[in-house]
Chain A
Amino acid sequence: MRSFFALLAWLFPRPFRERFGAELVERAVADVEHARREGFPSGFLELVATSTDLIRAAVMERIRPTRILGSHRQHEDEGLGMMTREWLRELHQAGRTLARSPGFLLAAVGTLALALGVNAGIFSVVDAVLVRPLPFDEPDRLVTIAASAPGSDLPEEFGVSAEFLIQYREEADQLDGVALFNAFTATLRYRDRTERVLMSWPSRSLFEVLGVQPELGRLPTPEDGDGVVVLSHAAWVGWFGGDPGVLGQSPFVIDGPRTVIGVMPPEFSFPSSGPLLWVPREEFDAEGIQPGRFGLSLVGRMAPGADHESLARQLGALARRLPERFGGSPRYAALIEQHVPVVRSLEEEMLGPVAGALWVLMGAVLVVFVIACTNVANLFSVRASARGRELAVRRVLGAGRARLVRSLMSEAAVVSVLAGALSLGLAAVVLPIFLRMAPDTLPRLAEVHLSGTTLIFTAAATACAALLCGLVPAVGASKVRLGRLRDGGRGSTPGRHWRRDGLVIAQTALALVLLIGSGLLVRSFAELRSVDPGYDTEDIFTFQFAPEQSHLQDGPSWARFHMGFLERLEALPGVRSAGIVENVPLDEGLRGVRWNTEETVSDPDAAKTVQVTFTGGDYFGTMGIEVLLGRALDERDLVNHGNVVVSQTTADLLWPGLNPIGRRLQSADVEGWHTVVGVVEDVLQYSFRDEPEPMIYLPLAGPTPDAWALPSPGYVVATREAATIAPRIRELVHEVAPEAPMYRTYTMAGLADASMARLSFTMLTLGMAAGLALLLGAIGLYGVLSYVVAQRSQEIGVRMALGARAGQVRRMVVGQGTRVVTLGVIPGLVAAALATRALGSLLFGVGTVDVATFVGTTLAMLLVGVVASYLPARRASSVDPVRSMRAT
């Protein structure tokens, strides 16, 4: 790093450099070292910032030099400065020289521009998503609070219950505030538009805890009760046309009209799934709390000076006193004994899932950048040796070494600056495409753009490229051997082979790391694709609509409406079958409800949590969910209330080893007794990575005639025309309910793709980076061997004149190429074994050191090495011995 800053110091005018150079470098190194102790991004960012500052100061110093007292070179520094003028002349000259070899210029600029472009793109994403602080007041003090109870039958981590919130709010002095939050979909209706949208029902104090202010209107107060709503910026623009008169309007939200009191600014989104609106709720009252209803998510603001450990200690101690204050069953008291609070920074909670993938991508494109620089440095190196004779002449004519270095550096600078400018153009075109590809779940996606920080980053990267690509070959080439003049400008340069070989070895190693990384992701993707979710993903279309008709009042009327619509839907040409479900898998979540079987009903603590949903029509047949035992729900169950179908896991959970058909179960949250009439195979509701959750399917009409109404269920349609059927269904919806728009229209294939978006996105991006690295590596190897062959054409000619056959010559060159690649493979494999750990949670069904992937990609790498060596080898074997020797 010291040498890097020493190079940057060279950008300063000489008098300044001589006087302050050493101190500057010392100071810059110390700053970066200091920041590096804080961890990876800070060190890296400080490096970028310090380099940028040095470059900026150097440029300013060149434009307006400081006349330092006592400097013996003052007279040279008049006006723009002699040095600057010389540099400008050099740059001009460099431009002219480069213009004379357009092939070289194109290759060098193209390579660097590609690498700088992908870096600018990924950096903008990393900067917006991970580096910029969250848009809350003092985000470092924000934490999420959950619970764990090692040794209990509860999940590893779960949400707390209301009495925790009350206790924390009243007693925890390490917290400045604590609020409840959640996210769910419910009905939003305004004028003639009705949809189920994502919303949140947080504590009223949520906004205060996060330290945010609305851009319009005000925050909720205790006087508001729960009849008000705060809109997101997106809802304000999308639903109310950005009208400032929105305050005081009363759209229908969830179950009735609520008054809009405020609009949040565009960057505010909480939780990160991005709800459209927030319905502030009354704070919980200690009266009438039923302890032990877990599942609430909390966000808290730590008091100044508090840290995660001390807070967790305090929360743990407070929780111990809960049974004493709120009562509860013996099971609850036992659970509290096992309870350990889980305190995590909000940033980790919000960004943690994507941070790993993004840093991997940033690392990958930096590797591509290094490979590109090596390639261009190599090109310059080759070019400089080819110009050895010209340089020797210039040296003899009195050009100093520094002058020669400057001349070669100028060419690298011209190439890099052109590439830097081109890369920004490239990034401006590619970034939007990239963002469209990115998964919707990527938080803060809307904030990504080519920002000033990205420009600075690209400028710094361009400067690094200029130094790397210019200085390495320039310093080497300036050690001009004057002997080159005497021996006619020919001769091999064996001493420098190791450097070029070294570059190829490094490129091979780096490219292999990326290849193996993307190989592992490709395998994970294939594994995930081959998971059987329990339902078909092909040829299924799903949608919802929410009719508003006065005769639709109770469960049976809604059920009749839906069944009538279902009949018309099934009559559509091309529709094989259709069904209804409350929550379409991969689209919406389920509710967990605690159930007791007839056998365990006397013991409430023996209840098991099972998710519920309800279905109608031919749901199981349409989705391809197999009925394993008994029968599916059908029209009989619309009249005979109380029948249910359970999934295999539910059957195993509630009646292990027994036949569940005809058995009965009961829940405090669902009226009446329910009889199992069928068992179906398990389905994956949330993601292909999960284990299946236990599920119970209730019939559409509800357990009793007046139990519930289901105004807006999900429809599933089996049809070969899943991708194109939407307009015809929309017409049908318009016929039966002209007031209701159709929404949440997906194909199951589309939902499956979306559920794997994080993996497929990382896989594609890393794959592209690896492909680019492989291509650049191959070009690098090809370039080096071509050069070596050209240098050795005379020797090859002699060998062939002495009887060597073309095949032998080809083998010799290919052998040399393969040897270098093999040398690169070894460090590449070691580095990959360490680096693939970073992929961690992205992988599925494959280890970080997967032998098949490692071997396969290594063979592919070697093959590419052989192919890249073969072309120069063919050229070598076609050397005409007579011509090559006569040229001596």
Chain B
Amino acid sequence: MGSSFDGRLSILEFHVLVALASGALYGYAITEAVEEESGGTLTPRAGSLYRVIARLMAWGFVGEVDPPGSEDQHPGLPRRWYALTPRGRSLLSEESRRLARAVALADAKLRPGRP
């Protein structure tokens, strides 16, 4: 059945979307981007990562795309490339705005000198 999207993204799901925001990537590159952008706090291993990709595809936020140009010249299996769908992009920007508001609120409350 695969639970339908309930309006919440897990941290890993969010970071995978962020990783794809700047363009299509293949599996390993997604992990690297996630690791780097999360400051090393997220290091998804194969099983976990592909379940997240599968879920994001099932929700329609991520889709498979053709390899960009002559990029795919590496030996071994052909790489599969993933990119944000328009729906995924709008979800990500919505989620980022929500997080930004949350951060601003937290900052304001933590600032010294307030009652």
From B45, B49, B54, A19 is in contact (CB under 8 Å) with B54
Chain A residues within 8 Å of B2, by CB: 64-68
B1-26 vs A, CB cutoff 8 Å, 1 = contact: the mask equals 11100000000000000000000000
From B1, B3, B50, B76, A24 is in contact (CB under 8 Å) with B50
Q: Which residue of B lies closest to A61 (CB)?
A: B51
Q: Determine if B1 and A67 form an interchain contact, defined as CB atoms under 8 angstroms apart.
A: yes
Chain B residues within 8 Å of A27, by CB: 27-28, 31, 46, 49-50
Q: Give complex CA distance A16, B57 in Å.
A: 12
Chain A residues within 8 Å of B58, by CB: 66-69
User: CB of A50 within 8 A of chain B?
Assistant: yes
User: CB of B89 within 8 A of chain A?
Assistant: no
Contact segment of A52-60, A416-424, A714-722: A52-60
Q: Determine if B76 and A26 form an interchain contact, defined as CB atoms under 8 angstroms apart.
A: yes
Q: How far is the CB of B59 from chain A (nearest CB, A)?
A: 9
Chain A residues within 8 Å of B48, by CB: 53, 56-57
Q: Give complex CA distance A53, B77 in Å.
A: 22
Chain A residues within 8 Å of B60, by CB: 69
A1-41 vs B, CB cutoff 8 Å, 1 = contact: the mask equals 00000000000000010011011111110110000000000
User: CB of B84 within 8 A of chain A?
Assistant: no
Q: List 22 A-B pairs, Cβ < 8 Å.
A: A16-B54, A20-B54, A23-B27, A23-B80, A24-B46, A25-B46, A27-B27, A27-B49, A27-B50, A31-B45, A31-B46, A49-B45, A50-B45, A50-B47, A53-B46, A56-B47, A57-B48, A57-B51, A61-B51, A65-B1, A67-B1, A67-B2
Chain B residues within 8 Å of A61, by CB: 51, 54
Q: Determine if B45 and A53 form an interchain contact, defined as CB atoms under 8 angstroms apart.
A: yes
Q: Do most interface residues of chain B lie in helix, strand or loop, or is the interface mixed?
A: helix
Given contacts A22-B77, A27-B27, A64-B2, contact A69 B47 (CB under 8 A): no
Q: Which residue of A lies closest to B50 (CB)?
A: A20
Q: Do most interface residues of chain A lie in helix, strand or loop, or is the interface mixed?
A: helix
Q: Which residue of B lies closest to A11 (CB)?
A: B47
User: CB of A78 within 8 A of chain B?
Assistant: yes
Q: Give complex CA distance A16, B58 in Å.
A: 11
Q: Give complex CA distance A77, B58 in Å.
A: 14
Chain A residues within 8 Å of B49, by CB: 27
List residues of B (26-72) whose CB comes within 8 Å of A's CBs: 27-28, 31, 45-51, 53-55, 57-58, 60
User: CB of A79 within 8 A of chain B?
Assistant: yes
Given contacts A26-B76, A69-B58, contact A60 B51 (CB under 8 A): yes
Q: Determine if A54 and B46 form an interchain contact, defined as CB atoms under 8 angstroms apart.
A: yes
Q: How far is the CB of A700 from chain B (nearest CB, A)?
A: 63
A419-440 vs B, CB cutoff 8 Å, 1 = contact: the mask equals 0000000000000000000000
Q: Determine if A53 and B54 form an interchain contact, defined as CB atoms under 8 angstroms apart.
A: no
Q: How far is the CB of B68 from chain A (nearest CB, A)?
A: 18
Q: Determine if A23 and B57 form an interchain contact, defined as CB atoms under 8 angstroms apart.
A: no
Q: Give complex CA distance A68, B31 in Å.
A: 21
Chain B residues within 8 Å of A50, by CB: 45-47
Q: Give complex CA distance A30, B46 in Å.
A: 10
Q: Determine if A54 and B1 form an interchain contact, defined as CB atoms under 8 angstroms apart.
A: no
Q: Give complex CA distance A78, B1 in Å.
A: 5
Q: Give complex CA distance A20, B50 in Å.
A: 7
Chain A residues within 8 Å of B27, by CB: 23, 26-27
Q: How far is the CB of B51 from chain A (nearest CB, A)?
A: 5
Chain B residues within 8 Å of A65, by CB: 1-2
Q: Determine if B28 and A30 form an interchain contact, defined as CB atoms under 8 angstroms apart.
A: yes
Q: Which residue of B lies closest to A54 (CB)?
A: B47
Q: Give complex CA distance A22, B46 in Å.
A: 11
Q: How far is the CB of B75 from chain A (nearest CB, A)?
A: 11
Q: How far is the CB of B4 from chain A (nearest CB, A)?
A: 9
Q: Give complex CA distance A67, B60 in Å.
A: 11
Q: Which residue of A lies closest to B31 (CB)?
A: A27
Q: Give complex CA distance A67, B3 in Å.
A: 8
Q: Determine if B77 and A66 form an interchain contact, defined as CB atoms under 8 angstroms apart.
A: no
- Most chain A C-beta atoms within 10 Å of own C-beta, residue among B50, B55, B58: B50
Query: What total count of A-B pairs have CB within 8 Å?
Result: 77
Q: Determine if A58 and B47 form an interchain contact, defined as CB atoms under 8 angstroms apart.
A: yes
From B3, B45, B54, B76, A68 is in contact (CB under 8 Å) with B54
Chain B residues within 8 Å of A30, by CB: 28
Chain B residues within 8 Å of A54, by CB: 45-47
Q: Give complex CA distance A609, B95 in Å.
A: 74
Chain A residues within 8 Å of B50, by CB: 16, 20, 23-24, 27, 57
Chain B residues within 8 Å of A55, by CB: 47
- Most chain B C-beta atoms within 10 Å of own C-beta, residue among A19, A20, A55: A20
B61-101 vs A, CB cutoff 8 Å, 1 = contact: the mask equals 00000000000000011001000000000000000000000
Q: How far is the CB of A600 from chain B (nearest CB, A)?
A: 63
Given contacts A26-B77, A30-B28, A78-B1, contact A66 B51 (CB under 8 A): yes
Q: Give complex CA distance A50, B49 in Å.
A: 11
Q: How far is the CB of B54 from chain A (nearest CB, A)?
A: 4
Q: Give complex CA distance A69, B3 in Å.
A: 13
In order of increasing CB-CB distance, the 8 nearest A-B pairs are A57-B47, A67-B2, A53-B45, A54-B47, A27-B46, A66-B54, A28-B46, A53-B47
Q: Give complex CA distance A882, B50 in Å.
A: 64
Q: Which residue of B lies closest to A71 (CB)?
A: B58
Chain A residues within 8 Å of B77, by CB: 22-23, 26
Given contacts A68-B54, A69-B60, contact A79 B1 (CB under 8 A): yes
Chain B residues within 8 Å of A25, by CB: 46
Q: Which residue of B lies closest to A50 (CB)?
A: B45
Chain A residues within 8 Å of B54, by CB: 16, 19-20, 61, 66, 68
Chain B residues within 8 Å of A19, by CB: 54
Q: How far is the CB of A72 from chain B (nearest CB, A)?
A: 15
Q: Give complex CA distance A49, B50 in Å.
A: 16
Q: Determine if B80 and A68 form an interchain contact, defined as CB atoms under 8 angstroms apart.
A: no
Q: Give complex CA distance A64, B54 in Å.
A: 12
Q: How far is the CB of A163 from chain B (nearest CB, A)?
A: 42
Q: How far is the CB of B53 from chain A (nearest CB, A)?
A: 7
- Most chain B C-beta atoms within 10 Å of own C-beta, residue among A22, A23, A26: A23
Q: How far is the CB of A884 from chain B (nearest CB, A)?
A: 53
From A28, A58, A68, B57 is in contact (CB under 8 Å) with A68
Chain B residues within 8 Å of A69, by CB: 57-58, 60
Q: How far is the CB of A36 from chain B (nearest CB, A)?
A: 15
Q: Give complex CA distance A55, B45 in Å.
A: 11
- Most chain B C-beta atoms within 10 Å of own C-beta, residue among A30, A31, A58, A67: A67
Q: Give complex CA distance A53, B57 in Å.
A: 21
Q: Give complex CA distance A22, B77 in Å.
A: 8
Chain B residues within 8 Å of A60, by CB: 51
Q: Give complex CA distance A30, B54 in Å.
A: 20
Q: How far is the CB of A826 from chain B (nearest CB, A)?
A: 37
Q: Give complex CA distance A22, B53 in Å.
A: 14
Chain B residues within 8 Å of A49, by CB: 45
Q: Give complex CA distance A78, B54 in Å.
A: 17
Q: Give 17 new A-B contacts, CB below 8 A, not counting A27-B31, A27-B49.
A: A16-B50, A19-B54, A20-B50, A23-B27, A23-B50, A24-B46, A27-B28, A28-B45, A53-B48, A57-B47, A58-B47, A61-B51, A65-B1, A65-B2, A66-B2, A66-B57, A79-B1
Q: How far is the CB of A12 from chain B (nearest CB, A)?
A: 8
Q: How far is the CB of A602 from chain B (nearest CB, A)?
A: 66
Chain B residues within 8 Å of A24, by CB: 46-47, 50
Q: Which residue of A lies closest to B79 (CB)?
A: A23
Q: Which residue of B lies closest to A12 (CB)?
A: B47
Chain A residues within 8 Å of B3, by CB: 64
Q: Determine if B55 and A66 form an interchain contact, defined as CB atoms under 8 angstroms apart.
A: yes
Q: Which residue of B lies closest to A58 (CB)?
A: B47
Q: Give complex CA distance A56, B49 in Å.
A: 12
Q: Give complex CA distance A388, B27 in Å.
A: 44
Q: How far is the CB of B63 from chain A (nearest CB, A)?
A: 8
A74-95 vs B, CB cutoff 8 Å, 1 = contact: the mask equals 0001110000000000000000
- Most chain A C-beta atoms within 10 Å of own C-beta, residue among B2, B27, B28: B2
- Most chain B C-beta atoms within 10 Å of own C-beta, residue among A16, A50, A57, A77: A57
Q: Give complex CA distance A56, B46 in Å.
A: 11
